[in-house]
Amino acid sequence: MAGPLAATTQTPIQTQNVDPSQAQFDEALQQAIAGGGGQLIAQEMMKIAQEVLNEAMADEE
């Protein structure tokens, strides 16, 4: 299953001729992007689950 994060997590950043602090920043940025994407997906899944639950509860009434 290749989601939208596959492109961002599999694309290495070229850090040749860059000072170490820039390389560390780039790595941290990539991790933040990947982590943030995961959180966004989880939030969307929770919204969908809540909608499904609300519909099921409404059908029981």
pLDDT tens for residues 25-37? 888 888 877 777 7
Whether 12 is in a domain gets the answer: no
d(CA 56, CA 18): 55
Whether 48 is in a domain gets the answer: yes
Whether 47 is in a domain gets the answer: yes
Residue 40: band (very low, low, confident or very high) from pLDDT cuts 50, 70, 90: confident
Are 26 and 13 a contacting pair, CB within 8 Å? yes
Question: What are the angstrom distances between the C-alpha of 2 and each of 6, 50, 53, 57, 61?
Answer: 6, 25, 27, 33, 40
Whether 6 is in a domain gets the answer: no
| 16 DSSP assignment | T
pLDDT tens for residues 5-17? 444 455 555 555 6
Are 9 and 1 a contacting pair, CB within 8 Å? no
Query: What pTM was estimated for this model as a whole?
Result: 0.43
